C-alpha cells in the first residue's frame, strides 16, 4: 500500500489528482465479480457464503455497468465474472460487452451447464477474453454426484470443446478432495485432451459449505502427498504445454497460506448484492460491516478507507504469536475467515499455523475425519443445504 495521505473525502476526482489511482492506492489489477449466487449445481464445497444472496437483492444491469465503468476508471485491468453461476444472469452478454467497451479484460468463471453454443459465441463476440470451467471429476458418475446435477459433466465437456472451437483460451478448474483425488492423473490428461492452457488443481479450502462438509471431503495425509508428487511430476513433464496452478489445503501444513495475499492488500470482490469484500468468504465473519457499491462511497474510497478493509490490514491488529513472529509480513497471520470459523475470533492466529495453540487439535480432527466413514454430502442451496440420500460409506 502507498503511504500517501488520503483526504477524508469520497470523490474519485480528488483521488485522480494524485497520479494514477490504481498505482497510488494499490488497487488490485483484477477484481472478482460475483454477479449472482444462483446456480443449478449444488457443490458441497462451494465458496459462496452459507447465507446466499437471493436474486431480488442482486445489483441491476445498470448498477453492474456503473461498477464496471468505475473499476476501469480507477485502474483495474481485469474482471472475473463469477457467481454462483454467472450465466444464470440474462444480461451477461450485455455486461461483458460493457466491460469490454470500457477496456477491461474479461474472464468467465462458469460451471458451463447453462451455456448453449450460440450464447458462448455471443459472449465471444461481446469481447469475452477467457473461459474457466470447473470440473468435479473425470466421469459422469462421480462428477454429477459431487455437483448434484445430472448430465452436468457431459455438458461441461461439450462447452469446453466449443470454447476452444471459438478460439477462446480455456482454464480447467479441478476442485479436489478425498472422494476424487484418485482421479487427479486423469484430470490432468482431460485438461490436455480439452486443449486447456491452464489447469488449476484446487484442493478444497474449508470455509462455509466446505466446512459443513469437511468430514466427507477431508483428504488423508497420504492422498495429499501423492497429489503433490503428481502435480510436481506433471508440471515438469508438461512444461510449455499446460500450466498447472496448485492450491494446497492448509490443515496439514506447518505454516498457513498468505490468504488473498493479505487482507485488503491485493484483492477484493463484489457480492451479488454489491458488497465490496476483502475475500469471498469475508461475510462469514460477524461484526464486520461491509460497504456496498450502492452507498455514497466510491469503490476506491471503500478499498482505502472502509473499516472492514482496514480492520485486518497490515500487522497492527495482530495478537501473539503472530505479533512478534518473523513471518508476520510473509503470511499476514493466514486466513481471517478460517481463524474466525475455527476459533471464534478473526484476530487470532489461523489454526493452520503450527504456532497456533489450536493447531494440534485441528490437525488431529482433520486426520480423524479423513479416516472416517462419512461420505454423504450436504448439498449447497438456498434452503441452507440438503443432505444427500443414502448411507455413508
Ligand atoms: S462451486 Fe458449484 S455450486 Fe458453487 S457456484 Fe460453483 S458450480 Fe455452483
Ligand atoms: S504465528 Fe502468525 S505470522 Fe507466524 S507463521 Fe504463524 S500465522 Fe504466520
| Bridge partners, residue 109, by sequence | 132
Secondary structure of the chain in the HEC alphabet? CCCCCCCCCCCHHHHHCCCCHHHHHCCCCEEEEECCCCCCCCCCCCCCCCCCCCHHHCCCHHHHHHHHHHHHHCCCCEEEEECCCHHHCCCHHHHHHHHHHCCCEEEEEECCCCCCHHHHHHHHHCCCCEEEEEECCCCHHHHHHHHCCCCHHHHHHHHHHHHHHCCCCEEEEEEECCCCHHHHHHHHHHHHHCCCCEEEEEECCCCHHHHHCHHHHCCCHHHHHHHHHHHHHHHHHCCCCCEEEEECCCCCCCCCCCHHHCCCCCCCEECCCCEEECCCCHHHCCCCCCCECCCCCCHHHHHHHCHHHHHCCCCCCCCCCCCCCCCHHHHCCCCHHHHHHHHCCCCCCCCCCCCCCCHHHHHHHHHHHHCCCCCCCEECCCCCCEECCCCCC
Cα–Cα separations (whole angstroms), residue 279 to 40, 262, 275, 336: 23, 10, 11, 10
**C-alpha 371 – ligand 1 centre gap (Å):** 26
**Residue 159 predicted with pLDDT over 60:** yes
Q: For a pocket test of ligand 2, which of 327, 332, 357, 362 has the largest count of ligand atoms closer than 8 A to its C-beta?
A: 327
Report which bound ligand comes closest to the CA of 156: 1
Asked whether 200 lines ligand 1 (CB < 6 A), one says no
Asked whether 53 lines ligand 1 (CB < 6 A), one says no
**Residue 13 predicted with pLDDT over 90:** no
**Residue 40 or 7, more confident:** 40
**C-alpha 3 – ligand 1 centre gap (Å):** 39
**C-alpha 355 – ligand 2 centre gap (Å):** 7
Closest ligand 1 atom to Cα of 39: 8
Asked whether 143 lines ligand 1 (CB < 6 A), one says no
Please tell me the residue having the least CA distance from ligand 1 atom 1. 46
Report which bound ligand comes closest to the CA of 110: 1
Asked whether 106 lines ligand 1 (CB < 6 A), one says no
CA atoms within 13 A on the CB side of 9: 10
How high does pLDDT run on average in the chain? 91
d(CA 217, CA 229): 20
pLDDT of residue 25: 52
**Residue 81 predicted with pLDDT over 70:** yes
Query: Within a 10 A sphere around the Cβ of 303, how many other Cβ atoms?
Result: 23
**C-alpha 380 – ligand 1 centre gap (Å):** 8
Cell 496439514, residue located: 252
**C-alpha 351 – ligand 2 centre gap (Å):** 9
Closest ligand 2 atom to Cα of 255: 5
| Residue-wise pLDDT tens digits, 38-59 | 999 999 999 888 888 898 999 9
Parallel/antiparallel/unpaired status of strands 130-135 and 378-379: unpaired
Whole-structure pTM value: 0.91
- Helices 221-237 and 359-370: angle between axes, nearest 10 degrees: 90
| Residue-wise pLDDT tens digits, 242-287 | 999 998 877 888 889 888 889 998 899 999 999 999 998 999 899 9
**Residue 150 predicted with pLDDT over 90:** yes
Closest ligand 1 atom to Cα of 209: 4
Query: Exposure pattern of 123-147 as b/e (b: 16+ CB <10 Å)?
Result: bbebbbbbbbbbbbbbeeebbbbbb
**Residue 17 predicted with pLDDT over 70:** no
Report which bound ligand comes closest to the CA of 381: 1
**C-alpha 258 – ligand 1 centre gap (Å):** 24
Please tell me the residue having the least CA distance from ligand 1 atom 2. 43
Which residues have C-beta atoms less than 6 Å from ligand 2?
255-256, 321-322, 325, 327-328, 331, 333-334, 349-350, 353, 355
pLDDT of residue 11: 35
Cα–Cα separations (whole angstroms), residue 86 to 80, 99, 113: 10, 14, 11
First to last CA, the chain: 50
Q: For a pocket test of ligand 2, which of 312, 330, 355, 362 has the largest count of ligand atoms closer than 8 A to its C-beta?
A: 355
| Residue-wise pLDDT tens digits, 199-256 | 999 999 988 899 999 999 999 999 999 999 999 999 999 999 999 999 887 788 888 9
pLDDT of residue 21: 41
| Residue-wise pLDDT tens digits, 343-372 | 999 999 999 999 999 999 988 888 899 999
Amino acid at each position: 500500500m502507498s503511504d500517501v495521505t488520503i483526504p477524508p473525502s469520497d470523490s474519485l476526482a480528488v483521488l485522480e489528482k494524485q497520479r494514477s489511482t490504481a498505482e497510488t492506492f494499490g488497487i488490485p489489477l483484477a477484481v472478482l465479480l460475483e454477479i449472482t449466487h444462483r446456480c443449478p449445481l449444488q457443490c458441497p464445497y462451494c465458496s459462496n457464503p452459507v447465507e446466499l444472496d437471493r436474486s431480488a437483492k442482486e445489483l441491476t444491469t445498470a448498477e453492474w455497468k456503473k461498477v464496471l465503468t468505475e473499476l476501469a476508471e480507477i485502474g483495474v485491468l481485469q474482471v472475473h465474472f463469477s457467481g454462483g453461476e454467472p450465466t444464470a444472469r440474462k444480461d451477461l452478454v450485455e455486461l461483458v460487452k460493457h466491460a469490454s467497451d470500457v477496456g477491461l479484460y474479461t474472464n468467465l468463471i462458469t460451471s458451463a451447464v447453462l451455456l448453449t453454443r450460440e450464447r458462448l459465441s455471443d459472449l465471444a463476440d461481446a469481447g469475452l477474453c477467457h473461459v474457466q470451467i470447473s470440473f468435479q471429476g473425470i466421469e459422469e458418475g462421480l462428477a454429477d454426484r459431487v455437483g448434484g446435477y445430472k448430465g452436468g459433466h457431459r455438458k461441461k465437456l461439450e462447452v469446453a470443446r466449443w470454447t476452444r472451437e471459438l478460439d477462446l483460451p480455456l482454464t480447467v478448474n479441478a476442485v479436489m478432495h478425498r472422494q476424487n483425488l484418485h482421479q487427479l492423473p486423469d484430470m490432468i490428461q482431460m485438461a490436455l485432451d480439452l486443449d486447456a492452457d491452464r489447469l488449476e488443481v484446487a484442493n478444497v479450502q474449508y470455509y462455509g459449505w466446505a466446512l459443513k462438509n469437511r468430514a466427507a471431503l477431508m483428504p488423508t495425509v497420504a492422498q495429499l502427498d501423492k497429489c503433490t508428487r503428481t502435480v510436481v511430476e506433471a508440471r515438469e513433464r508438461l512444461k510449455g504445454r499446460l500450466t498447472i496452478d496448485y492450491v494446497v489445503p492448509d490443515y496439514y501444513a506447518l505454516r498457513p497460506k498468505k490468504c488473498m495475499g493479505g487482507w485488503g492488500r491485493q484483492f477484493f470482490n463484489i457480492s451479488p448484492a454489491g458488497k465490496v469484500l476483502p475475500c469471498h468468504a469475508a461475510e462469514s465473519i460477524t461484526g464486520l460491516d461491509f460497504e456496498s457499491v450502492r452507498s455514497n462511497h466510491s469503490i476506491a474510497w471503500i478499498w482505502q478507507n472502509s473499516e472492514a478493509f482496514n480492520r485486518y490490514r497490515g500487522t497492527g491488529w495482530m495478537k501473539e504469536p503472530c505479533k512478534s513472529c518473523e513471518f508476520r509480513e510473509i503470511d499476514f497471520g493466514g486466513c481471517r475467515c478460517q481463524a474466525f470459523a475455527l476459533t471464534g475470533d478473526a484476530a487470532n492466529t489461523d489454526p493452520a499455523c503450527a504456532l497456533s495453540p489450536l493447531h494440534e487439535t485441528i490437525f488431529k480432527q482433520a486426520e480423524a475425519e479423513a479416516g472416517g466413514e462419512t461420505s454423504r454430502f450436504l448439498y449447497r442451496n438456498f434452503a441452507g443445504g440438503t443432505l444427500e440420500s443414502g448411507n455413508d460409506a
